[in-house]
């Protein structure tokens, strides 16, 4: 058996066809492809739909003076369509538009979604949210804020945002999450162990 692949070469994938299956608020592309197998050679042709989401940021807001984190709660259509609780407790987040730097988006979204001014914005990691079917890569940040000013409802109505802001003691994380201890929003989960 060959050693585990650490890097990839575009030659490891042969695209035999591609098309846009849907284009609306988001885009869904369909690929027909073959990829190199761990045992060598190319596998059989497979068809995969890929949700073209673009890149995004997630920002954990922390107040070291109060040992508190600031979180947001908002409606999400995906869980609603799945028959689950649609109001999710999350960290601040937003989509990176072409030409934007993730750091700039993180600072802007913090202001728009919470009304707070981020300080000492630091990149702490990144992840694909659903690599089996989506292109979205989320860059994770942590920023310092003054949690005393956290609260109220924020967001842009024209973007369908109705975002409630709250803070909680980091040492008592359970009030920040759902009763079962879950965050339910992937970018929030890796941030939960930081700082």
pTM for the predicted model, two decimal places: 0.80
pLDDT digit of tens for each residue in the chain (195 aa)? Answer: 334 444 567 789 999 999 999 999 889 999 999 999 989 889 999 999 999 988 999 999 999 998 999 999 999 888 999 999 999 999 999 999 999 999 999 999 999 999 999 999 999 999 999 999 999 999 999 999 999 988 888 888 777 778 889 877 775 554 444 455 445 555 555 555 554
Question: In Å, how far are 69, 90, 163 from 94, measured between CA atoms?
Answer: 18, 12, 13
**41 and 133 co-located in one domain:** no
**47 and 105 co-located in one domain:** no
User: Annotated catalytic residue: which of 109, 112, 159, 161?
Assistant: 159
**143 and 175 co-located in one domain:** yes
Structure tokens at 19: 């098309």
Structure tokens at 22: 């849907």
Q: Has residue 91 been placed in a domain?
A: yes
Q: Has residue 18 been placed in a domain?
A: yes
| pLDDT at residue number 153 | 83
Burial 98-124 (b: 16+ CB within 10 A, else e): eeeebbebbbebbebbbebebeebeeb
**27 and 72 co-located in one domain:** no
The last residue of one of the domains, among 35, 52, 69, is 52
**47 and 110 co-located in one domain:** no
Q: Which residues pair with 68 in a beta bridge?
A: 63, 169
Which residues have a Cβ under 8 Å from the Cβ of 115 and sit 6 or more positions away? Answer: 149, 152, 154, 165
CATH number of the domain that 180 lies in? 3.90.79.10
The last residue of one of the domains, among 19, 36, 52, is 52
**31 and 120 co-located in one domain:** no
Structure tokens at 157: 């109505």
Looking at the 3D structure of the chain, how many domains does it have?
2
Domain span including residue 17 = 10-52
Could you confirm whether 85 is annotated as catalytic?
Answer: no
**69 and 107 co-located in one domain:** yes
């Amino acid at each position: 058996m060959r050693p585990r692949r650490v890097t990839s070469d575009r030659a490891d994938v042969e695209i035999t066809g591609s098309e846009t299956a849907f284009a609306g608020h988001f885009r869904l592309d369909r690929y027909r492809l073959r990829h190199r197998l761990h045992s060598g050679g190319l596998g059989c042709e497979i068809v995969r739909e890929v949700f073209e989401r673009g890149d995004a940021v997630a920002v954990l807001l922390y107040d070291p003076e109060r040992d508190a984190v600031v979180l947001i709660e908002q409606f999400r259509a995906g869980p609603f369509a799945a028959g689950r609780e649609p109001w999710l407790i999350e960290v601040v987040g937003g989509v990176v538009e072409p030409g934007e730097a993730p750091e700039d988006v993180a600072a802007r979204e913090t202001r728009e979604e919470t009304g707070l001014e981020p300080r000492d914005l630091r990149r702490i990691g990144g992840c694909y949210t659903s690599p089996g079917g989506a292109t979205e890569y989320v860059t994770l940040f942590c920023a310092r804020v003054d949690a005393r000013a956290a609260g109220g409802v924020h967001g842009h109505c024209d973007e369908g945002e109705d975002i409630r802001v709250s803070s909680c003691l980091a040492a008592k994380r359970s009030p920040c999450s759902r009763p079962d201890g879950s965050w339910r929003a992937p970018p929030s989960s890796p941030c939960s162990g930081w700082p």
